[in-house]
Amino acid sequence: MTDELFSILASIVTALQSLSLPTVLFCLLAYLVKGKSALTAFRTCLPNSIFNISIMCFNLVLISFTFTNLGWLYSINVVEAFSQFWESLPEWLVILSAVFCGDFIGYWRHRLEHSRMLWPSHAMHHSDTNMSWLTLQRFHPFNRVTTTIIDAGLLISLGFPPYSLVANSLVRHYYGYFIHADLPWNYGAWNKVFVSPVMHQWHHANEPAAYNTNFATVFSVFDRAFGTYRVPSLCNIPLGISYNVGGNIFGQLLYPLKLSSYFKKFKKTQTKSIDT
């Protein structure tokens, strides 16, 4: 028991240390973009950032357990068939394929999270009203587990080698930090290919027209292909959710356990693609 406790504490310390470099980079980026007003923005998002780091630590144990129990997927015959195909390709192409397939899987998994069945556990992520790069860590444990099982499980089932799974995880994780950052950046013509911070801010916007839009993490081509792309302008409207999903971390952890959460109405609006 003592060894397990020390292992958990070591994992938390390691996770907190892993935030040090992104913290420096995003603080520097905020200062370059916003100047002295970056300090005001930091003070505004501080309470939500503390929440985000707290839930990150809470999730560490569950994520470790989930990953260690996905190895059985490698025994499926379809994995062996696909594995031979990936072994015949150069590593850079396998990594690119893994990231592309991972984002395709993530797109549909994310759409599923906005369905009535999974929304109560995904709502925690959208409850951040002052979105920052740390919002990427704001996920309910249920949401973390389903994300891990669906994303990693399907990539493993497709026979991708371990190094490409690691590469996919790193690329989508750190790019996820970037698109959650409070940056007023679009990519111009590159919007047709990649997700920008502004595009993802619209995903978190608290207005009906923004619901069920912009689900991809890296490649905006998926939202364009399936009619969920929407970036009308810079996002200058409030973010978050218009109703209470728990006043604190404990309330939000309990929210998906309440039967009433699955009957709460939330609007789903069909929108047309809009290019900026």
Which pLDDT does position 227 carry in this prediction?
96
CB environment 231-245: b (16+ within 10 A), e (fewer): beeebeeebbbeeeb
State percent of the chain over pLDDT 90: 60
Which pLDDT does position 74 carry in this prediction?
58
The reported pTM is 0.88
The residue ranking higher by pLDDT, 84 or 47, is 47
Contacts of 255 (CB under 8 A, 6+ apart): 120, 121, 123, 124, 140, 245, 246, 261
Contacts of 172 (CB under 8 A, 6+ apart): 99, 102, 103, 106, 217, 218
Whether 269 shows a pLDDT value over 50: the answer reads no
Contacts of 57 (CB under 8 A, 6+ apart): 12, 15, 16
Whether 76 shows a pLDDT value over 50: the answer reads yes
Q: Taking all residues of the chain, what is their mean pLDDT, rounded to a whole number? A: 87
Whether 71 shows a pLDDT value over 70: the answer reads no
State percent of the chain over pLDDT 70: 86
Q: What tokens does 258 get?
A: 């309440």
As a whole number of angstroms, the distance between CA 90 and CA 88 comes to: 7
Whether 276 shows a pLDDT value over 50: the answer reads no
Whether 77 shows a pLDDT value over 90: the answer reads no
Which pLDDT does position 109 carry in this prediction?
97
The residue ranking higher by pLDDT, 193 or 272, is 193
Whether 108 shows a pLDDT value over 90: the answer reads yes
Q: In angstroms, how far is CA 145 from the centroid of its own chain?
A: 13
Whether 8 shows a pLDDT value over 70: the answer reads no
Q: Give 139-174 pLDDT, tens digit per residue.
A: 999 999 899 889 988 998 899 999 999 999 999 999
Whether 225 shows a pLDDT value over 90: the answer reads yes
Q: What tokens does 46 get?
A: 């501080």
Q: What tokens does 139 get?
A: 């996920």
Which pLDDT does position 125 carry in this prediction?
96
Which pLDDT does position 263 carry in this prediction?
81
Which pLDDT does position 73 carry in this prediction?
58
Ordered by start, the domain boundaries in the chain are 2-262
Q: Give 235-264 pLDDT, tens digit per residue.
A: 999 999 988 898 899 999 999 999 888 887
Q: What is the average pLDDT across 23-39?
A: 89
Which pLDDT does position 274 carry in this prediction?
40
Q: What is the average pLDDT across 219-230?
A: 97
Whether 271 shows a pLDDT value over 70: the answer reads no
Closest Cα to residue 188, out of 231, 235, 227, 239? Answer: 231
Q: What is the average pLDDT across 86-109?
A: 96
Which pLDDT does position 59 carry in this prediction?
86
